[in-house]
Structures are given as C-alpha cells and as structure tokens.
Structure 1
Amino acid sequence: MSFGGPQWPQQPQDPYERDPYQRNQDPYQRDQPPATPDWSALAEASAARTRRKRLLLIGGAALATALVGTVIAAAIVSADKKDDDGANLADTTSAAPELPTDTAKPQPSFSSVAPPPPPDPMDFISSARKDTAPLGAESLFPGRKLTMGDRVHKKGATASTTNCAAAAEDGLGAVLERNGCRRVIRATYEKDGVAVTVGVALFDTKEAALRAKEQTVGGVTPLAGSGVDGFCRAQTVCLRRANTLGRYAYFTQAGFTSGKKVTKSDRAVFQVSDDLGAFTFNQIYARGRAQASAAATAPAADQ
C-alpha cells in the first residue's frame, strides 16, 4: 500500500504542443527578416498594360476612320449615278423622234385575207369530175409482190375492163351495172396456198359506189394465172368482202388454191383478205392525196 496525498488528475500532454519553456527549439535558429516586394517586375507589368491600352485605342480609331471613308465613298457614287441617270433621261426625252423624209417609197402591206385551206384528198376521189389522174392496174397494184409487215404476198395476174358485169359473179355484175359502174380493175395475190382476188369498181360519185356496196350479192370473179392456180371454183366456200372509199367500191374473194372450203377458223385466209383490203384502201387514198398536193402547188407554179 502506499501513503501520500491525494492524486490529482493530470491533463494529457499534446506531443505537438510547443514547450512553454522553449526547450525543444533549435538553439541555432534565428528570426528571418520579412520579404520585400519586387519593384522591377511590378514596373514592367504596369508598362505592358499601358502599351496594350494605347494599341487598342489606336486600332479603334483606324477602324472608325475606315468606316467613315466607306460611307462617304458610297454616298459619292450614289450621287454620281443619280446625276448620270438624270442626264441620260434628259438626253432621251429632249431629242425629238426622227420622221421619215422620203414618203414616196412603197411601204410593206399585209393581206387580211387568210390563205385557203389545203385541198382535201377525199374531194378528188369522190367525184369523177375532179378525179382525172391516169389510172390502171399497174398504178393501182404496182410491183411483183406485196409486203405487209412480215407477210409477203406474190402478185399474180391483173386485168382491167369496162364490162363490169364480166368481172363479177353470182349477181354482183347486175348490181354494178345498175349503179353505173364504169370500170373494174382486178389483181390476184397468193401466199402459202391462199389466194385472193381484189376488184376495184369505179363509179361517177361516192353515192353510187356506196349504193353498190349496200346492194352487194355474190362477189368478184377470181382471177387465176401468172403463177397462181385457179381457186374459189364452184362447189367450194370462199371469203367474200366489200367496202368503199370515195367513188370506188372494192371487193375481195379469198380461198385455198387446193379447193378446200374456208371456215371461220382459217385465220390465214382472213389475214390475206385483210392485207389486200388495207392495201387497196391505202392505194385509193394515196391517189386522192397526190392530186390534192398537185392542186395545192399549181397556183405557185403558174406565178
């Protein structure tokens, strides 16, 4: 056991607390004198700021001067342009227009009458009075073959007669004579065993030709020869058709050279008939077009 006075509580010591008695200080440490400002550096910074301000002032003044000069130049150019425009206007308005001094010279004139329309080809092929161009089997059916698309039809015999009844059969001759037929021109073509004869009958007017078509019975007589055998004889069936254009009535009769009867399924026969009908139509119209063209150029040729 121990004896003694009461133990007082002790404050803990801060190991970093400064010794009040300065016992831990370096005996050789001396107080340092306070630092002095760098007057030279401060002077250089102040001079740099002064130079920068001076440069900014000089640049702003130069820019303002340039802008003022530009505005003044634009104003001068605008004023000059207005003066020029005024001078030009004065020149154009002050000068009096020159009047022709020689009024004796003839002046160009223009007719107020419209030129006549070109002749209509149908006018020439609708009346014998105007349809006066030469006409024959060779001019209506020229060449030795007929080409329609990729189909080539060999040309056979041709014939022309003023005895219209002799060129028709089974009642058609009487129809032609009754309506004033003047002439019948025939031609035959053949392709792959199918032959067709086309007969063109001429009348004085298109009305007479139309009546003959409407009264049609029978058909044109088939024309054999020149390499095409006889076809569409008695006791067989052939394809007969009739049509008109102007004062021309034309008839076709098509069939097999073998004598076979034509039926509705025989497309080859119908095709040959179509080709010859279209060709005849075009030839008749071309005749009218040629005469119309000649009539249109006739006045110019007479001048």
Structure 2
Amino acid sequence: MSFGQGGPQWGPGGSGSQPPQWGSQTPDWAALAEASESRNRRRRWLMVGGGALATVAIGAAVAVAVVSADGDNGQAANRPASELPASSDIPPDTTGPEPSFAETSAPPPLDPKDFISSKQKDTAPLSPDILFPGSRLTMGESRYEKGKTASTKDCASAAQGTLGTVLTKNDCTRLMRVTYSLDGVAVTVGVAVFDTEAQATKAKDDSDDKSVVQSLSGDGVPEFCRSAVCRSTTNSYGRYAYFTVAGFTNGKDVTQKDTKVFSTGDDLAEFSFRQIRRRGEAQATAAANE
C-alpha cells in the first residue's frame, strides 16, 4: 500500500464513522526545512548560553577561592576603619630610637705666633747656636760662612748709637748676635728678646737710622762697621726684635750702588725671621701632639 496519490478511497457504509482522509496535496518542503533550521538555531543558542553561564560560574568560583586563600591577610585591608584595632592595641615599636650624635668639629690649629709672643708660652731652649745652627748658611745662590756668636743680658752693651737706649727703655732681657761673611762683605745679626710682643714692637718703632747693633768680629772676620758707613735694618716678630748691620771687611764705606752689601743684609734679615717663626712652629707642633 502506498500513501499519496492512487491510494484507496473510503466510501460510505461500514461503522458510520468518517474514514480518514489522506490528503492528496504535495508536502511543503520549504516550510519543513525552515522549521528544522529554527529548531537547530534554538539548540545552538542554548548551547552557547549554557557555556557562558558555565564560564561565569567558574569565574565566580575562582574569585571566591582567591578571597578565601587570602584568609586573615586580606581581611584587615577590607575592613571598615571602625573595625580596625585601636592605636593602643597595636604593639609598640621595640626597636628603640635611632642613636643620635652631637655635631663635632676639629679644633682650630694652634697659631705658631702665639708661642713666640710671650715669655709664658715661649719656653723652648734658646741660644745663638740654636737660633742660628750650623757653620754656614745658603740663601739662594749665596753661601755664607758663619763667624762668631755672642749673647748678653746687658742689651745696651752690644748696641751702637741710639739702640742701647731703645733696648733699655723697652726692657730688653737678652741680646744675641751672630756674624756671617762672603767675599769681603760681613753682616752681624742682633736678636733682642723681650717678655712680650708689645715691647718688641715698641722697640722697633722707637728705633731710628742711628739705632745700630754693634758688629761682631772674630773667627776669621776682621773688625768692620765700627767707623765706616754701613747699611742697617730693623724689624720685629713676636717678642723678638732683630737688627742687621752689613758692610765691607776692609773698612770701605757702603754706598747705594753696593747692591752686594744690601742683598747680604736682606738675606740675613729674612733668615732671622724664618728662624724665629720656625721656633714658634716647633712649639705649636709639640703642644698639639701632647
């Protein structure tokens, strides 16, 4: 038996019921196909929607797991301020304050001049040979031979012209002398010692062009500058005033053209200053190392 065209036709009679009518029209295949496609689309959407819901569910589960894993470490950060412990409940810092140090600075260096400006501080041994050591002196290209030395507490006895009065008036306590010579020119240096710098400065200021230290001859140096014209200088440093007198050993007068005599006197005046300053430096160094 086949369905569709050419099938049997139920006629009247029988049980009286209407027999089924098998349609003779052709099926609407396009409608069937559209219905089938509609069902397929709904199925696909259901699958996609289910996957999305599963992803959201998994994400939520991971987030819960992360929060749970934080435990107590994350709870304090998420608590409101009212639930945080009071400052009195927080354990105190037991490390203690950092150590502090008072600001310090190196002491100022000792001034060498302080040690040669008064009798109280200038206590190192003193003599002509200590102040002017050795047997000769080299200054630049000049090499001077050292002659005789002398020292006296009667300062005026080793002075000429007005210098004796100047030294006595300012309470000179000692006058040391030394002579150097080179090529017929000799110079005597006289170093007068006072108790204070003020006295030495006053002696220098009171001196004039007639205040001359007496030349010292001997030890190969003949008498000089006792009657001839010679060149003299005066200066002071600390509690010391120092004087020079320079001239020819043959008794010749010194003139402005005799530069050799001038340079000799200047060399010995410079050396005297250096030696007095070194005396102060030595005592300042010794005091700093105590």
TM over 0.5: yes
- Identify the residue that residue 212 of structure 2 maps to in structure 1: 219
Q: For 1:227, what is the secondary structure of its paired residue?
A: coil
- Identify the residue that residue 207 of structure 1 maps to in structure 2: 198
Matches within 5 A, 1:64-103: none
Residue number among 92, 110, 113 corresponding to 1:119 in the alignment: 110
Post-superposition shift, 1:145? 0.3
* 1:33-90 CA distance string (max 9 Å, x none): xxxxxxxxxxxxxxxxxxxxxxxxxxxxxxxxxxxxxxxxxxxxxxxxxxxxxxxxxx
Q: How many residues align?
A: 197
**One-letter code aligned to 2:177:** R
Q: Structure 1: which 5+ residue stretches go unaligned? A: 1-99, 299-303
Q: Quick one: distance in 2 between partners of 1:144 and 1:109?
A: 59
Q: Does 1:241 align with 2:233?
A: yes
Q: Quick one: distance in 1 between partners of 2:188 and 2:280?
A: 23
Residue number among 282, 286, 289 corresponding to 1:294 in the alignment: 286
Summarize the Cα distance change of 1:111–1:265 in structure 2 as closer, same or farther, 3 Å threshold: same
Q: Quick one: distance in 1 between partners of 2:278 and 2:100?
A: 38
* 1:180-236 CA distance string (max 9 Å, x none): 1010110000000000000000111111111111111421010000111110122x1
- Identify the residue that residue 274 of structure 1 maps to in structure 2: 266
Summarize the Cα distance change of 1:141–1:109 in structure 2 as closer, same or farther, 3 Å threshold: farther
- Identify the residue that residue 73 of structure 2 maps to in structure 1: none
- Identify the residue that residue 178 of structure 2 maps to in structure 1: 187
Post-superposition shift, 1:108? 7.0
Matches within 5 A, 1:115-194: 115-194=106-185
Q: Structure 2: which 5+ residue stretches go unaligned? A: 1-92
Q: Quick one: distance in 1 between partners of 2:106 and 2:155?
A: 43
Summarize the Cα distance change of 1:111–1:297 in structure 2 as closer, same or farther, 3 Å threshold: farther
* 1:127-146 CA distance string (max 9 Å, x none): 11111111111110000000
Post-superposition shift, 1:154? 0.4
- Identify the residue that residue 80 of structure 1 maps to in structure 2: none
Percent identity over the alignment?
A: 55
- Identify the residue that residue 31 of structure 2 maps to in structure 1: none
- Identify the residue that residue 53 of structure 1 maps to in structure 2: none
| RMSD, matched Cα | 1.9
**One-letter code aligned to 1:183:** R
- Identify the residue that residue 68 of structure 2 maps to in structure 1: none
- Identify the residue that residue 63 of structure 1 maps to in structure 2: none
Residue number among 259, 265, 280 corresponding to 2:257 in the alignment: 265
Residue number among 212, 223, 227 corresponding to 1:230 in the alignment: 223
* 1:221-264 CA distance string (max 9 Å, x none): 10000111110122x10001100001100000000000000000
Summarize the Cα distance change of 1:114–1:178 in structure 2 as closer, same or farther, 3 Å threshold: same
**One-letter code aligned to 2:141:** D
Summarize the Cα distance change of 1:119–1:194 in structure 2 as closer, same or farther, 3 Å threshold: same
Q: For 2:148, what is the secondary structure of its paired residue?
A: strand
**One-letter code aligned to 1:222:** S
Q: Quick one: distance in 1 between partners of 2:202 and 2:222?
A: 33
- Identify the residue that residue 53 of structure 2 maps to in structure 1: none
Post-superposition shift, 1:292? 0.8
- Identify the residue that residue 48 of structure 2 maps to in structure 1: none
